[in-house]
Amino acid sequence: MNNDVQIVAYHEKYKAQVEDLLILLVDDVAQYNELRRVHAGSMYGSKYLEEYVNLFKNEKACIYLATIDVEVVGCIAGKIIEKTGDDLLEYYPMKLGFIDDLYVLEDWRGHGIGAKLLQESESFFKQHHCVFVDLLVAYKNSNAHELYLNQGFKNDGLIMRKKLQ
């Protein structure tokens, strides 16, 4: 099925579809968030995409889309983070790739689209001399966790959170 899927760099003609995907992504993430602190405000998709497009134009970020004909069925957004200045008190100087978001429409999951999007973003980060690529995944999102492990990611920490009354 994924033979028809094309991975393409973001283009303005897909803006509305990508904004909708970003809203679906946050809704999806919210189901794993027991503390109920995640939601997509009415302007989330457009504001988030605007910020990423500005980074994208300056080659500080990548936005790739999985398309079938003219329909966007998945997307990935990642940015370059440079460890400099005060960061060097704790880290070696380096460039890191950071994947903020990866989302594939539910009907298209399990067809290798997420893996293709990850591979394309990894190529971007390698071209920009990043040493690592990091991402966060919801603890209970076992399908995504498995995808990342299968793509060579390693568990390297766990964020713990406590709600204060």
140-151 pLDDT, tens per residue? 888 999 999 999
What's the CATH class of domain 2-150? alpha beta
Q: 154, 129 in Cβ contact below 8 A?
A: no
| H or E stretch covering 122 | helix 113-127
Q: Which residue has the tokens 């970003």?
A: 22
Nearest in space to 18 (alpha carbons), one of 53, 59, 54: 53
Tens of pLDDT, residue by residue over 34-58, are: 655 555 566 666 776 788 788 878 8
Tens of pLDDT, residue by residue over 45-104, are: 677 678 878 887 888 899 999 999 989 999 999 999 988 788 788 877 789 999 998 999
Structure confidence at residue 162 (pLDDT) = 72
Structure confidence at residue 51 (pLDDT) = 81
CA dihedral of 67, 72, 75, 80, whole degrees rounded to 10: 80
* Residue 91 half-sphere exposure toward CB, CA atoms < 13 A: 13
Task: Report CA-CA distances (Å) from 5 to 117, 119, 147.
Answer: 11, 14, 18
**For residues 46-72, b (16+ Cβ closer than 10 Å) or e, as one string?**
eebbeebbebbeeeebbbbbbbeeeeb
Q: Which of 29-43, 52-66, 115-129, 148-162 has the lowest mean pLDDT?
A: 29-43
Provide the token pair at 16. Answer: 């509305």
Report which listed range, 30-44, 101-115, 148-162, is most confident. 101-115
The phi and psi torsions of 104 (rounded to 5 degrees) equal -130, 135
